[in-house]
């Protein structure tokens, strides 16, 4: 029996009242397109946001699982968007790709495929293991738990990147998979993927490259002549990649893709059953019914921007990133971690309380990400972060650093206020 002391939950309210409640709540939120938001914005301009939003709304009631029947337009969007990203990541012609609800599902499916392949071809492995680096997204740990894979986490780093010597030493007869990031969320520095590919190839290990952040960044940075290490299917041992349309592909959430090097691997990813009386059930995804809006928005943004449009936007963001990293490195006591290849990075200090600096910036309205090892701040740039905004941030950052150095500002201890990507 439904019981509540709330009249509104029993009788409902008018839409005008509900809308007013929503608007009042959002008035306290930081808008995702705010220039002061350095946390998970993925904004390419109002024109692109409008395209993504309108396409999303047009298909908001459609179900992706019905793309072979009720909604064939969604199948077209999937095929064409996946073709674009496969070319972007130098996937071979035999590659197989699947649209997913997000990076978590993409990497889960890649791990399932690696496990199923090992079960078939290496039945002697009873307790399969996966090698993860210091900066690997923790969802890999969550997926390993669900899939029954033992995790060997390599905590040592060299120049903020994975320690390949430690990775090599951790390889055992039970190792079936290794994961590298291009780049990872922490630090923003691409893992030593060429060395990891060599190790994977020598030991017959499935290499997965997580490019959920960098999949729509690094290809354009490379095309613009920037020094970008090998990160995609040009790595001979790379068997799968994950890339998010809803990050720097500018689609509405949630929309991602998992790409397998060869279509023959797809059977390890998929699941089939004839256990019920309504026909055979086969799916390449973990999720079932899902909104077609994100898929439509991913396709619409690609159709609207084209390769050249992405290149133009990424050029501007990379230039702003250069300005900001240079400005931070010029502030006494601060330094950027390593040499990031993309458009997000972290910075810290050997002498200043970085949490206090972050708290003071947050109090001024800036939004950013917190890193804990070491304590540092992480910024993710988008198109609204132009030169004027960068100079404003750098000026306020220098003022805050001085205040923390002088003891006028201390940490507030509200780590939950920091964003994450």
- Per-domain residue ranges of the chain: 51-271+282-301, 307-409
pTM of the model: 0.93
**pLDDT truncated to tens, each residue of the chain (421 aa)?**
677 777 778 888 999 999 999 999 999 888 889 999 998 889 999 999 999 999 999 999 998 888 888 889 999 999 999 999 999 999 999 999 999 999 999 999 999 999 999 999 999 999 999 999 999 999 999 999 999 999 999 998 889 999 999 999 999 999 999 999 999 999 999 999 999 999 999 999 999 999 999 999 999 999 999 999 999 999 999 999 999 999 999 999 999 999 999 999 999 999 888 888 988 888 888 888 899 999 999 999 999 999 999 999 999 999 999 999 999 999 999 999 999 999 999 999 999 999 999 999 999 999 999 888 899 999 999 999 999 999 999 999 999 999 999 988 788 766 555 555 4
CATH architecture of 307-409: Alpha-Beta Complex (3.90)
Domain 51-271+282-301 fold: 3.40.640
**CB of 64 closer than 8 Å to CB of 299:** no
Strand spans (E) along 52-137: 96-100, 129-132
Close Cβ partners of 183 (under 8 Å, ≥ 6 residues apart): 189, 190, 191, 213, 214, 218, 340, 341, 342, 344
């Amino acid at each position: 029996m439904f019981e509540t002391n709330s009249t509104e939950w029993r009788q409902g309210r008018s839409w005008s009242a509900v809308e007013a409640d929503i608007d009042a709540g959002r008035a306290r939120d930081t808008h995702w397109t705010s220039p002061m938001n350095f946390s998970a914005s993925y904004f390419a301009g109002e024109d692109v946001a409008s395209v993504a939003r309108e396409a999303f709304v047009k298909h908001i009631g459609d179900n992706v699982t019905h793309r072979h029947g009720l909604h064939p337009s969604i199948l077209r969007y999937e095929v064409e968007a996946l073709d674009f990203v496969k070319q972007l990541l130098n996937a071979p012609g035999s590659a197989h790709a699947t649209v997913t609800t997000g990076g978590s599902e993409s990497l889960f499916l890649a791990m399932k495929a690696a496990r199923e392949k090992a079960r078939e071809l290496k039945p002697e492995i009873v307790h399969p293991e996966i090698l993860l680096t210091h900066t690997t997204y923790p969802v890999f740990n969550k997926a390993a738990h669900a899939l029954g894979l033992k995790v060997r986490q390599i905590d040592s780093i060299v120049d903020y990147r994975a320690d390949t010597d430690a990775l090599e030493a951790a390889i055992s007869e039970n190792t079936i998979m290794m994961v590298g990031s291009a780049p990872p969320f922490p630090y923003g520095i691409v893992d030593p993927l060429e060395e990891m590919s060599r190790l994977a190839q020598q030991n017959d290990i499935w290499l997965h490259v997580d490019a959920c952040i960098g999949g729509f960044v690094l290809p354009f940075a490379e095309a613009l002549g920037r020094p970008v290490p090998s990160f995609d299917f040009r790595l001979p041992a790379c068997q799968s990649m994950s890339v998010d349309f809803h990050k720097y592909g500018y689609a509405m959430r949630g929309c991602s893709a998992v790409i397998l090097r060869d279509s023959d691997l797809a059977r390890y990813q998929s699941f089939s059953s004839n256990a019920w009386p309504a026909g055979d059930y086969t799916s390449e995804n973990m999720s079932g019914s899902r909104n077609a809006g994100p898929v439509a928005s991913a396709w619409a943004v690609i159709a609207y921007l084209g390769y050249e449009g992405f290149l133009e936007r990424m050029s501007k963001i990379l230039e702003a990133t250069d300005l900001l990293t240079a400005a931070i490195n010029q502030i006494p006591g601060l330094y950027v971690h390593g040499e990031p290849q993309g458009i997000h990075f972290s910075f810290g200090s050997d002498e200043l309380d970085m949490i206090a600096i972050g708290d003071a910036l947050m109090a001024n309205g800036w939004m950013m990400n917190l890193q804990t090892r070491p304590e540092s701040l992480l910024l993710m740039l988008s198109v609204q972060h132009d030169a004027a905004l960068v100079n404003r941030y750098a000026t306020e950052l220098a003022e805050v650093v001085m205040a923390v150095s002088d003891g006028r500002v201390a940490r507030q201890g509200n780590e939950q206020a920091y964003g994450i990507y």
